[in-house]
Chain A
Amino acid sequence: DAMVIQNPRYQVTQFGKPVTLSCSQTLNHNVMYWYQQKSSQAPKLLFHYYDKDFNNEADTPDNFQSRRPNTSFCFLDIRSPGLGDAAMYLCATSRGGFGYTFGSGTRLTVV
């Protein structure tokens, strides 16, 4: 089945130690998104790629970076994770804003 796959499902990292979360898709969607969701809150868009064009949200901290080496893969890099970055990170895809599909998320714990 076509889908959005996030790895790992659970990630524990040390305070200040760089961490990378990955997302892959078999839907051939041209848009890929990264959302941060904290407990009992709505998902918050960090940035998205429309094809190869990177679109950063104005309030996304510089600590968060992203890479999209090809259509199928997108990575979220957190350069120096702080305790406040502990959250569920959701990857999503769409075809030009339609057919949104979310992955199952990666739960990040910072110790």
Chain B
Amino acid sequence: TQLLEQSPQFLSIQEGENLTVYCNSSSVFSSLQWYRQEPGEGPVLLVTVVTGGEVKKLKRLTFQFGDARKDSSLHITAAQPGDTGLYLCAGALQISGSRLTFGEGTQLTVNP
């Protein structure tokens, strides 16, 4: 059983479209992070959310942490080809200390 369910697994859209990626769990997380990973590279941290209901914006990216701290979403406005990559959510459980649990990832392709 996957602790963090991420959807969709694959997403192919045209430049300029909007999209949302979801990360869901039945567990409560003390914090949740979103990463972007390009082929052959390590994940790069985009944002960390720690407060239930928190919304953070990073240019065209909007991240939301659910009120109950069990889920999160990433919304991209007017996607560009440079947004192409693997998006990973990762959560830290309160009982697991510093360990991160990753979702399966969303492979996003933005076509020109």
Contacts and interface: CB of A to CB of B under 8 A. Distances in A.
Does more than half of chain A's interface fall in helix, strand or loop, or is it mixed? strand
A94 B42 contact: no
A88 B45 CA distance: 18
B40 interface: yes
Interface of B: 31, 33, 35, 40-45, 48, 88, 90, 92, 97-105, 107
A92 B102 CA distance: 13
A65 interface: no
> Interface range on chain A: under 10, 10 to 19, 20 to 34, or 35 or more?
20 to 34
B98 A96 contact: yes
Interface of A: 4, 6, 31, 33, 40-45, 48, 50, 55, 88, 90, 92, 94, 96-98, 100-105, 107
20 contacts: A33-B100, A40-B105, A41-B105, A42-B88, A42-B102, A42-B103, A43-B43, A43-B102, A45-B100, A48-B99, A50-B98, A94-B98, A97-B31, A97-B98, A98-B31, A98-B48, A100-B33, A102-B44, A102-B45, A105-B42
